[in-house]
Amino acid sequence: MSNTQLHRDEQQGGVLTDPVRHPASAAAPVRTKRAFVLILLTLFAPGSAQIVAGDRRLGRRALRVTLAAWVLIVLMLVLVATNRTLLIGIVTNPVSSLILILLLVALAVGWAILFVNTLRLIRPVLLEPRVRPAVGVALVLAMVLSSGSLGYAAYLLNIGRNAIGSIFNATGPAIEPSEGRYNFLMMGGDAGADRTGRRPDSLSVISVDAETGKTAIISIPRNLQNAQFSEDSPMRQIYPDGYDCGNECLINAINTEVTNEHQDLYPGVADPGAQATLEAVSGSLGIKVQAYVLVDMEGFSKLIDAMGGIRIKAGGWVPMSGLMVDEANGIHGMPEGWIPAGEQHLDGHHALWYGRSREFVDDYSRIQRQQCVQQAMLKQLDPATLLSKFQDIAEAGTKVVDSNISASQLGSFVDLAVKAKGQDVARLTIGPPDFNASFSTVPDFGIIHDKVRQLLGSQASPTAGALDDTMVEPLARQAASGGQPMAAGPLTGVPLTQPAPAPSDFTPVTTTPDGQPITAELLNEFKRNGDEQSIRELVATNGQCAPL
């Protein structure tokens, strides 16, 4: 035999005895170890199992795709560190997000195909019978962990993409910060059989510093009179001195009036009523509000349910009011239920009532509770909850009735929300506790502008004191008439010489003055006896609230 033939035979013998590519000649423990190694190779380096034990051409192609995927992951990590706005913009953009979804689906399918091919390379018939189930389970788990995760990521991204398309405008002009801040008007619409049009029951401006994410919430009472339209508002043609047509001209009536009577002043505007309300809030506060979001309150309820509820400390009992029986005097029938004072975990239905109820108290107590609910949602929506309940949260988010925010700018706003997360939130109410109870009827807009500038200016100062996210900022505000600090609790407007305590320092009122426990039965008994004054005294502190 020639040396060449001998060398060929030796090569062939070495190949045939290679336990990785030819496991038939290997011992049973080696075949078992080989099976698990091939599964791990496919899981951590897709294509490498084919390189060492199967179709090398398929393996090389898969490894190239794997390398490209790792390069993309590294680039994403770099963007997280250097340009998070761009990365979020890519994920939220309709076109790029669709491409990303298709890419994830393709990778998931390709990875699954590699696992099927790996199973063929393992050749389960060569394994011991007692080992086969373990190998099968390991392969399925690895496939779920890899392909399943990519497929689920594509599914979540598609849900988010559809939600964005439903909530926000596909196109629109970019919103620029005004004096370094983004100002968003949040309107809570509570449409129902006893409602006229789309009058927003809740008006608040969320003002966010474009650089730092520091946030302030400015609440405007729905009964604010003589609201001032911004200088560029078409409504100034009709109301040059403010919305002053009488007692019916409350700020929350602007939406309905413009929708019904003055749409011609807003050609090409999707929602003239919402736009006019935004302009009235801008002029009244002395700031430029760039965008609005009108939220249906039922959608608000579903969103809280999707989050798993919210946790608060309630200062007093809150009624879930029955039907109105005497509209002239604001008297309702028997309450449908009560939300007790103290620490509470509220589902969407009860949180909605907690924020909307105003029986036995005034609108300003309700505003304080609404602010508290907003802050509880911001504080308690953690990443784990968002990921685990993403579909429910996204579907609830589509209950937003209207918004003029463009989807193309969501990247910068989501990044802004990330900056704001966990930071202190300052609050101001155009009414008690920051102004006296009659201020909304005869408001002094010069004072309002000063207070708003003071609030936002304190956030811009690097030496401003850190505030708890449940504190009114600042704690000692000047009263409308005196320039002295004013109480955060009483509605009298009497100037004080000392700052009021932070709202989070309150003690929930759970007993009557004589020490008797307050219960739903006790309150209902007062109601049945027509003794509403006793109820008012016992629930007077229900505007006090702090998120937990």
Q: What is the pLDDT of residues 85-118, one digit of tens each?
A: 788 778 877 888 899 999 999 999 999 999 999 9
Quickly state the pLDDT bin for 504 (edges 50, 70, 90): low
Neighbour tally for 533: CB within 10 Å: 10
Q: Give the pairing of strands 181-189 and 291-296.
A: parallel
Segment 130-134 shows an average pLDDT of: 94
**pLDDT surpasses 80 at 144:** yes
Predicted TM-score (pTM) of the model is 0.66
Segment 331-358 shows an average pLDDT of: 91
**pLDDT surpasses 60 at 455:** yes
Quickly state the pLDDT bin for 397 (edges 50, 70, 90): low
pLDDT at 169: 64
3-class SS at 179? coil
Rounded CA-CA distance 212/424 in Å is: 11
Q: Report pLDDT digits (tens) over 246-277.
A: 777 899 899 989 999 999 999 988 889 989 99
- For the four alpha carbons of 359, 365, 368 and 369, in that order, the dihedral sign comes to negative
Amino acid occupying residue 323: L
3-class SS at 185? strand
Strand partners, 74: none
pLDDT at 172: 60
3-class SS at 319? strand
Rounded CA-CA distance 315/338 in Å is: 13
pLDDT at 15: 46
**pLDDT surpasses 90 at 463:** no
Q: Report pLDDT digits (tens) over 145-190.
A: 999 999 999 988 888 888 777 667 656 667 888 899 999 998 876 5
**pLDDT surpasses 80 at 316:** yes
Contact indicator for 503, 471 with CB cutoff of 8 Å = yes
Q: Report pLDDT digits (tens) over 65-81.
A: 999 999 999 999 998 88
Quickly state the pLDDT bin for 126 (edges 50, 70, 90): very high
pLDDT at 492: 34
pLDDT at 382: 65
Rounded CA-CA distance 131/32 in Å is: 7
Quickly state the pLDDT bin for 138 (edges 50, 70, 90): very high
3-class SS at 203? strand
**pLDDT surpasses 90 at 343:** yes
Task: For the chain, give the percent of residues with pLDDT over 90.
Answer: 44
pLDDT at 173: 63
Q: Report pLDDT digits (tens) over 15-58.
A: 445 788 888 888 999 999 999 999 999 999 999 999 999 999 99
pLDDT at 17: 57
pLDDT at 489: 35
Looking at residue 486, what DSSP letter applies? E
Rounded CA-CA distance 254/347 in Å is: 32
Range of lowest pLDDT (38-47, 191-200, 244-253, 396-405): 191-200
pLDDT at 401: 59
Length of the chain: 548
Quickly state the pLDDT bin for 464 (edges 50, 70, 90): very low
Rounded CA-CA distance 232/518 in Å is: 52
Task: For the chain, give the percent of residues with pLDDT over 70.
Answer: 80
Rounded CA-CA distance 225/243 in Å is: 7
Rounded CA-CA distance 266/276 in Å is: 9
